[in-house]
Amino acid sequence: MATNQASIPNLKVKGMTGAQVYENWKVFQFQFRNFLLAFNHSEAKEEKKVALLLHLLGPEVVNIFQSFSVDLTKVKCDDLIQKFEDFFSPKKKLSLERHKFFTRHQKPQESIESYVTDLKNLASTCEFKNLTESLIKDIFIVGLEEDNQHIKERLLQENEDKTLADIIDIARTIEMSRTNQNMKVQNDVMKVQTRDASKSKNVWKPGERTKKQCTRCGLQFHPVKVCPAAKAKCYKCAKIGHYGKMCFFKQRNVAMLAEEDKEDADYTQLFDQGSHYFIGSILE
């Protein structure tokens, strides 16, 4: 039996980095459990399994064991293994983990699903305990990116008793609604352009105007009446008619808006003549 026991190398601790010791410990732990199983010690008394564990760990671990201040006659083998696991495992810096969580904001073009999943993963290492869900909910709302300020405003109006799941469901619904709305605008504009382009070749060149960007919502140019931001409230200047990311508070953007209004009138008038695919009819 002595030969079999010696087949498990003692755990090396001295002269090694913390990461190296932990790797050695994981290998030793795997071998020790197999040893108990192979030599029918799995069902042995706890006192005997503890003695085998300490014997096979070797002399370099004696001082570590003594720091645990446990009673050899009462401690269970699995509990002692857990104490060594806690001792050898790399110590995470709690303040750093929490810093990563509290400074996590939604990235541009990142979906609600991806954002909240990463927040949950970060929170799992922060030891927030019973505050975990509440803090995830708060950071989720605070960290929403500029394009989702309308979602943030809606969530801030919700009752405090809303759960994290409730908040996420609301955010997903709004996100999906806006995505569908933007797609509809693009489809409607393309429908009008495709239908009536042949009737206006001598008056208007679609390619020249559609290359521009709408200064209200940021999508491909279209008349104001089909713009998804026509009734939106800007979170930067509190005015109606554009998203925050396209805020025309600066003078140069005011000039751009004035120019667009003039061109928009011509653009709309063109399609209000001789076509049953009027912009107005699309909205009805």
> Model confidence over 156-179: pLDDT tens digits?
988 788 899 999 999 999 888 776
Residue, of 185 and 119, whose pLDDT is higher: 119
258: helix, strand or coil: helix
User: Residue 119 class from Cβ within 10 Å (0-12 exposed, 13-18 middle, 19+ buried)?
Assistant: buried
Question: Does the pLDDT at position 281 exceed 70?
Answer: no
213: helix, strand or coil: strand
- For residue 133, the model assigns a pLDDT of 95
- For residue 200, the model assigns a pLDDT of 55
Question: Does the pLDDT at position 196 exceed 80?
Answer: no
Confidence of residue 118 (pLDDT cuts 50, 70, 90): very high
Question: Does the pLDDT at position 126 exceed 60?
Answer: yes
Structural domains present in the chain: 2-88 (no CATH), 94-175 (1.10.1200.30), 200-283 (no CATH)
Q: How far is CA 262 from CA 1, 224, 265, 267, 269, in A?
A: 95, 11, 5, 9, 11
User: Residue 251 class from Cβ within 10 Å (0-12 exposed, 13-18 middle, 19+ buried)?
Assistant: exposed
Extract the tokens encoding 203.
């008056």
- For residue 284, the model assigns a pLDDT of 36
pLDDT by residue (tens digit) across 41-79?
A: 989 999 999 999 999 999 999 999 999 989 988 999 999
pLDDT by residue (tens digit) across 197-232?
A: 555 555 545 444 445 788 888 887 778 778 888 888
- Please say whether the beta carbons of 267 and 209 come within 8 A: yes
Extract the tokens encoding 251.
């003078």
